[in-house]
Amino acid sequence: MSRVLIIGAGGVGGVVVHKCAQFQEVFSEIILASRTLEKCEKIKSQLTRPIQTAQVDADNTSELVSLIRKVSPDLVINVALPYQDLTIMDACLETGVPYLDTACYEPPNEAKYSHVWQWEYHDRFKDKGLMAVLGCGFDPGVTNIYIAYALKNYFDEIHFVDIMDCNAGQHGFAFATNFNPEINIREVTARGKYYENGQWLETDPLSVHKSFDFPEIGPKEMYLMYHEELESLVKHIPSLKRIRFWMTFSQEYLTHLRVLRNVGMTRIDPVSFQGVEIVPLQFLKALLPEPSSLGETYEGKTCIGCMIEGIKDGKPKNYFVYNICDHRACYKEVRANAISYTAGVPPVLGAKLMLNGTWSGAGVFNVEQLDPTPFMAEIGQYGLPWTEVFID
């Protein structure tokens, strides 16, 4: 029986609220707070059990502290934007409440996400006896846990990992992003980066690609990108010789993105327009469909998984573990697309494991540092079943 405060009423936040509402025995009271109260009310109206809603500017620590003191939650789940991670962690520290999120901090004026800023909070959370769990979405999140589970059960050492994220769904829009457009486009237009033999190597954006035959989907072209879980996995799994992240994109998406980039619409620096300063990417976000509105027309499947190579008892071993998710089934269940669903379900199980003490500790943790067994045992029942393949 716990009170949970969920911050952020977007695509992912909607899934988190729906899923928490399904598990009343764990989440007996739910408070949803976000910048725009109407978005909280809209999600509330979709539910069959009552929740509380509140308006909050999560960039403002003192507003957050007042809200947390007012509703006294047992845990804060942050599914606002990465820009709010530090203010929400500050508020949790001040009020003595554990913290969980799905994406690492990124400064608003620089497209450079990294765990370093949140790792700096470790001693402060430790001194207060509080737990903060970072990156408990799907990727990062489940992908990290897949790797921790493989290491615990099947490998003595993991040497090579390819994390592969395929969305083969069709939403019917000419161009839309599956999660927050600003965050998504900043991530996709950044230079690629991967880790090999003790070094970080960079590539031009989306310049390295190859085909992979995804289960239940078929062959798709996937593109090498930098993704935040690479940073924490290299730190926590020292036997890694190489780790890369790949994501599929349709040609339609890539063509739109190339044009938008060429004309300057993905810039994040302010430009002067008719006497006002605007950030082109923020303006573009205002024109694009809200990710939370993509569910209704979405069809097709996603497959996200990890291809892992290493050694067990001195012999080489290859292992693939993945989840398949269906856009239409997600919409039917929680009115969201499969991207929001895959990101929104894991924090709900992560929250449960924190609240019942299965995951415990004082300080700041990435999910691969926590016991993967209870998470893997239950994530299927929470809606994200997994399949493992042992490759000869």
CB-wise, 138 or 359, nearer to ligand NDP?
138
Report which residue's Cβ sits closest to ligand NDP.
Answer: 10
Cβ-in-10-Å burial (0-12, 13-18, 19+) of 89 comes to: buried
Q: How far is the CB of 25 from ligand NDP (least distance, A)?
A: 26
CB-wise, 10 or 372, nearer to ligand NDP?
10
Region for 309 from its dihedrals, namely left if φ exceeds 0, alpha if ψ lies in -120 to 50, beta otherwise: beta
**Separation between Cα atoms, residue 347 and residue 345, nearest integer Å:** 6
In one letter, which amino acid is 325?
Answer: C
What residue spans of 9-160 are helical by DSSP H? 11-22, 37-45, 61-71, 85-95, 116-119, 122-127, 142-153
Q: Give SS3 for 15.
A: helix
CB-wise, 39 or 244, nearer to ligand NDP?
39
CB-wise, 229 or 309, nearer to ligand NDP?
229
CB-wise, 118 or 310, nearer to ligand NDP?
118
Q: How far is the CB of 187 from ligand NDP (least distance, A)?
A: 8
Nearby residues of 309 by Cβ (< 8 Å), 6 or more positions away: 158, 159, 160, 161, 316, 317, 318, 319
User: Which residues of this protein are in contact with ligand NDP, per CB under 6 A?
Assistant: 8-13, 34-36, 39, 56-59, 79-82, 84, 102-103, 137-141, 179-180, 183, 291-292, 343
Q: How far is the CB of 64 from ligand NDP (least distance, A)?
A: 9
CB-wise, 63 or 388, nearer to ligand NDP?
63
CB-wise, 59 or 378, nearer to ligand NDP?
59
Q: How far is the CB of 336 from ligand NDP (least distance, A)?
A: 9
Q: How far is the CB of 268 from ligand NDP (least distance, A)?
A: 15
What residues pair up with 101 in beta bridges, in sequence order? 78
Q: How far is the CB of 146 from ligand NDP (least distance, A)?
A: 13
Region for 141 from its dihedrals, namely left if φ exceeds 0, alpha if ψ lies in -120 to 50, beta otherwise: left
CB-wise, 138 or 155, nearer to ligand NDP?
138
Between the alpha carbon of residue 171 and those of residues 276, 297, 299, the distances in Å are 34, 5, 7
Paired tokens of 269:
């620096």
CA nearest neighbour of 101 among 118, 121, 116, 117: 118
CB-wise, 103 or 132, nearer to ligand NDP?
103
Q: How far is the CB of 345 from ligand NDP (least distance, A)?
A: 10
Nearby residues of 255 by Cβ (< 8 Å), 6 or more positions away: none
**Separation between Cα atoms, residue 212 and residue 221, nearest integer Å:** 6
Q: How far is the CB of 79 from ligand NDP (least distance, A)?
A: 5
DSSP readout, 211-280? Answer: EEEETTTEEEEEEEE--HHHHHHHHH-TT-SEEEEEEE--HHHHHHHHHHHHTTTT--S-EEETTEEE-H
Q: How far is the CB of 180 from ligand NDP (least distance, A)?
A: 3
Beta-carbon count within 10 A of 221 CB? 15
